Amino acid sequence: MKILQLCKKFPYPLKDGESVAIYNMAKGLSAAGAEIHLFCVNTLKHFFDPAELPSAYNPYSSITSVTLDTRVTWTGALLNLFSKKSYHVERFQSEKVSTALRKLLEQEEFDLVQIEGVHLAGYAPIIRQYSSAEVALRTHNLEFQIWERIAARTKPGLKRWYIRYLTKKLKAYEVACLQATDFLVPISSQDFEQFVSLGYEGKHCLCPIGIDPGEYLPAPQKRDTFSVYFLGSLDWLPNLEGIQWFVSAVWPIFWQRHHGAVLHLAGRNMPEWMFSLSGKGIRVHGEVPDAIEYMNQYAVMVVPLFSGSGMRAKIIEAMALGRTVVTTPLGLEGIPGQDGVSVCLASTAEEFVVQLERLLRDPQRAVQIGQAGRSLVLDHFRADAIAKSLLDAYRSWLEGRLTPQMPQVHG
C-alpha cells in the first residue's frame, strides 16, 4: 500500500510528542510493508532541513517539504476578528502549499492519504480533486477542547473573551472536518467518545502513540539525591501553564521541607523568564540534546497538566524508561495506568507534595511503580504493533470500498 503522510511540521528531530507520534507511525507502517511518502509544511518555528535527516531515521520513500511562516502575529490576529475562519488553522492555509500538493498528486498515485491533525484537513478537497486516494484523518487531540480548558482557567477579561472567540471558530472547523471524514484515527478512546458526541459516524481505528522499546533502555536510578524532572515543549501553552503553576505552588512547599531535593527543568523553546528560576532546589537546563539521556538521569517525572487533550508522549517515554510519573488525571488520558501501581496521580498542590514525599521516603516504591509503568508500555504502546493494526484496518476498509457490491436476489 502506498501512503502519503500529510503533516503540519517536519516530524524530526524527535523532541516533542507530535513528532514522536508521527515519526513512529511512519516507521511502523513502513516496517509493516507500506510504502510511506511525506508531504509537510516546514514551519519557520520548527524548521528542519530534510537533507539533514539521518538515513537511519528515514522511513520515507520521498519527502516533499514546503517552507511556511505560521507564526502568530498581532496583525494576523486582528484581521482574523473579521474572518469566519479559525486563526489556529488559517495560518497553515497557503496557495504555495496547495500548489506543491497538487503537483505531487499529479505526479504520484497513492492508495491513501493520512492527514496528521486537523490543521491540514482543509487540503482534503484538493486531495479528492487531484487524486483517487482515499483520505483518513489522524487526530492527535481535540484542538478546541484544549483551548476551552485554557479559557476556563484564564481570568475574566479581554484575553479570555478572545480565547473563547477563537475557540468557537476552531470547534466549528473541527466538527466540519469530522463530518467530511470517512476514516478516523483517534489517539485515545476518550477523544473518540468526544468525536462521536460531535456527530462522527464513519469508520475508525484507535491508535495511541507508540514507541520502539528498544530505543528506551532504563538506567539504574540514582539514590544519592531525590531528583525530580520536567521535560516538555514549552511553546505548547498547556505545558507552560502547568510547569509555571508547579514551580510557584508546589515546589516551594516541597523544597522547604526537603532542602536536598532538586527539580530539573528542560524543554524546547523555553522562555527566558524560566532561566531565572535557578536556585532553591531548581536547576534549569533549557533544551537538551538527548531527551532519553536526560530522563534516564532522574527518578521522578512531574507532568502538571490541566488544559491539554489527547495523549502525552513524554509520559509514555518516561514510563518506558522505568521512571515514576506524577501527573494529573488529565495527563493520564489515553493511558490505562493505575494510581499507586504504575503511576502517581495528583490534582492539587497538596496532593503533588504528598505524592512526592511518599516517593522520597520509600525509594523502593518508586522503583516498583517505575517497573510497572514500563510493563504497561510494553503491553500497550509498541509502535510496530499499533502501526500493523492500522495498516490491517486500512486494507480491510479499502477492500470493502473497492469491491463491487453484488445485487441482492429476491426469490
CB 327 within 8 A of CB 343: yes
pLDDT band at 409 (very low <50, low <70, confident <90, very high): very low
Q: Which of 238, 248, 232 is nearest to 325 (CA)?
A: 232
Cβ neighbours of residue 22 under 8 Å, at least 6 residues apart? Answer: 5, 7, 11, 116
The residue ranking higher by pLDDT, 324 or 401, is 324
> Domain locations in the chain?
2-210+382-402, 214-380
For the stretch 353-367, what's the b/e string if a residue is b when 16 or more beta carbons lie within 10 angstroms of its beta carbon?
bebbeebbeeeeebb
Please tell me the distance from the alpha carbon of residue 315 to that of residue 335, in angstroms, as a whole number: 9
Helix spans in 32-86 (H): 74-80
Residues 6+ apart with CB under 8 A from 267: 230, 231, 232, 233, 234, 239, 243, 286, 287
Q: Residue 178 burial by CB count (10 A; 0-12/13-18/19+): exposed, middle or buried?
A: buried
* One-letter amino acid for residue 68 of the chain: L
**Residue 403's pLDDT band (cuts 50, 70, 90):** low
What value does the mean pLDDT take over residues 206-232? Answer: 90
Do the first three CATH levels of 2-210+382-402 and 214-380 match, i.e. the same topology?
A: yes
**Integer CA distances (angstroms), 317 to 81, 261, 275, 301, 386, in order:** 40, 23, 25, 11, 16
pLDDT tops 70 at residue 5: yes
Does the pLDDT at position 405 exceed 80? no
Q: What is the pLDDT of residue 404?
A: 52
End-to-end C-alpha distance for the chain, whole angstroms: 40
Question: Does the model's pTM come out above 0.85?
Answer: yes
Fold classified for 2-210+382-402: Rossmann fold (3.40.50)
Strand partners, 211: 382
Q: Is the pLDDT of residue 407 over 60?
A: no
Task: Please state which CATH class domain 214-380 belongs to.
Answer: alpha beta
Q: pLDDT tens across 20-58, in order?
A: 999 999 999 999 999 999 999 999 988 999 999 999 999
Position of cell 496528521? 116
Question: Which position has the higher pLDDT, 80 or 356?
Answer: 356
In percent, the amount of the chain with pLDDT more than 90 equals 76
CA dist., res. 18 & res. 209, Å (int): 9
pLDDT at 154: 86
For residues 302-331, give the mean pLDDT: 92
